[in-house]
Amino acid sequence: GIQVEQSPPDLILQEGANSTLRCNFSDSVNNLQWFHQNPWGQLINLFYIPSGTKQNGRLSATTVATERYSLLYISSSQTTDSGVYFCAGRGEYGNKLVFGAGTILRVKS
């Protein structure tokens, strides 16, 4: 099956700073998604982004499918952005989403 690698594994930001999270895939994927798990454990879908760029407020994501990676940008970070960010994708011939290990983000005020 495909392997999903996320970087960095953890990140500490001062409120207001920007950050870029990366997700690399070992093989071609479709159905690429980004999730945020808040400190209370709730998993929220941020983006469904198999290719191209999408923006939602201070967050945006870009997937370059031909190069097997995706980036999540967080601008003007806030303490409420803290938590774990996961990316996940489905292999070209797979049936299920495979999740990365996540990036732990802590935003300090």
Partner 1 sequence: DAGVIQSPRHEVTEMGQEVTLRCKPISGHNSLFWYRQTMMRGLELLIYFNNNVPIDDSGMPEDRFSAKMPNASFSTLKIQPSEPRDSAVYFCASTSRTGGTDTQYFGPGTRLTVL
Residues within the interface to partner 1 (CB under 8 A): 31, 33, 35, 41-45, 48, 86, 90, 95-97, 99, 101-102
DSSP codes of every residue in 37-103: E-TT--EEEEEE-SSEEEEETTEEEEEEGGGTEEEEEE-S--GGG-EEEEEEEEETT-SS-EE---E
CA triple 85-88-90, angle to 5 deg: 175
**Which CB sits closer to partner 1, 20 or 45?**
45
Least distance in Å: CB of 44 to partner 1? Answer: 8
CB-nearer residue toward partner 1: 17 or 59 = 59
For partner 1, the closer CB: 15 or 27: 27
Shortest distance, position 76 Cβ to partner 1, whole Å: 25
11 or 97: CB nearest partner 1:
97
What's the first-to-final CA gap in the chain, in angstroms?
40
